[in-house]
Amino acid sequence: MASNFKIQIHRNSDNVHLNLIGCFDGNSAFELINVLKDKCRKFSRVFIHTCGISTIHPFGQSVFLKNFKGTRFSPHEFKITGDYKAQLDPMENN
């Protein structure tokens, strides 16, 4: 994992917000996938906020997009916001 990567989790009612902070590499991508699988399934909607990301490594992007399918989220349950939305949104990277 990138030494400066963190995921801040904020819950409100049926939603969960994940604020990504730091450098997004391959290990960070796996950490995010694991949080999605283990901690987010009980929520109606998941928001991933990318404004705290300083850099996305191409390998991290690839790892996230390839493993996102295993989270089993549908498009209406999942929203990515911020500067790196285009790089991490599975709907934009089919």
All domains in the chain, ordered by first residue: 6-87 (3.30.750.24)
CA 46 to chain centroid, in Å, comes to 9
pTM of the model: 0.90
Q: Which residues of the chain have pLDDT under 70?
A: 1-3, 75, 94
Query: Could you count the other beta carbons within 10 Å of the beta carbon of residue 3?
Result: 7
Distance CA 22, CA 25 (A): 10
* Residue 3: per-residue pLDDT: 63
The answer to whether 60 touches 32, Cβ cutoff 8 Å, is no
